[in-house]
Amino acid sequence: MSKYKSVFDIIGPIMVGPSSSHTAGAVRIGRFARTILGGTPRHATILLHGSFLETGPGHGTDKGIVAGLLGMETFDPGVKESFEAAAREGMTFTVGEVNLGPKVHPCSAKLILESQDGRTIDVIGTSIGGGNVAITEVDGYQVRLSGEYPTVITVHEDKPGVIGKVTGILAEQGVNVAFMNVARKQKGREAFMTIEGDHDVPAEAIAAISAVDGIRLTRYLPKLT
């Protein structure tokens, strides 16, 4: 499947500079991770890999990720002063380095985020070029999320019937499943599912999914702007 599917992946995004991969991509990775967490983190550990680390401050990668974690868009003039904005909004953060190995794209970062209510998630995000991004790992589960489709994420008990109930609820709401991925670390324990749909998913559907027996966590990620 082609990675770039729209003319606006090539002519766009509208963004503040200086780099589409290292600034706009960084903002979008931050925004993406923030949605998975479910809001602005209390604390963020930002670990830069490869080219993200080497060119980091010159390309505003650190500022970009922080801006995204605060919910800013790629074209927000506030990206430039995101560290000050973080201080105002009470988000603390550290910037460090990580080596994710030679197979991981050079424009990648690992984010360890602590939510306001004390939960922690780990996310690995990659900037693939021209401001386009992918989330490749969440809490150690391999995923491939582009942000191009409204996405439902669930963490659920690895037992028969859960997936069927979730897709059933989406079908009732007229949401067609475009892509779907289920991952688990061990049989019968916990599974991690991502569903990318063709349509926005209404809040009632997300509530209904959260109530399905065996579902431990549900997140809804609208199309990434």
**Pair of tokens at residue 9:** 């992946």
When the beta carbons of 126 and 194 are compared against another protein, the nearer one is 126
Q: Does 73 bind another protein (CB under 8 A)?
A: no
**Part in contact with another protein (CB under 8 A); list of ranges 7-15, 33-41, 170-178, 184-192:** 7-15
Q: Does 53 bind another protein (CB under 8 A)?
A: yes
Which listed residue (68, 131, 147, 197) binds another protein by CB under 8 A? Answer: 131
Q: Three-class SS of residue 22?
A: helix
Say how many C-beta atoms besides its own lie within 10 A of residue 116's C-beta: 14
Asked if residue 109 lies in contact with residue 47, where contact means CB atoms within 8 angstroms, the answer is: yes
**Residues that contact another protein, how many (by CB under 8 A):** 53
Please choose, out of 4-12, 27-35, 189-197, 211-219, the segment that lies near another protein by the rule CB under 8 A.
4-12
Interface region with another protein, contact rule CB under 8 A, candidates 100-108, 117-125, 177-185, 188-196: 100-108
From 44, 70, 107, 166, residue interacting with another protein (rule: CB under 8 A): 107
Whether the CB-CB separation of 133 and 26 falls below 8 Å is answered with no
**How do beta strands 92-97 and 43-50 pair?**
parallel
**Tokens (6 digits) for 21:** 């991969």
Q: Could you tell me which residues come within 8 angstroms of residue 34 by beta carbon, excluding any fewer than 6 positions away?
A: 40, 41, 68, 69, 70, 71, 113
Site residues, another protein (CB under 8 A): 2-24, 48, 50-51, 53-60, 62, 75, 77, 79-80, 83, 93-97, 105-107, 127-131
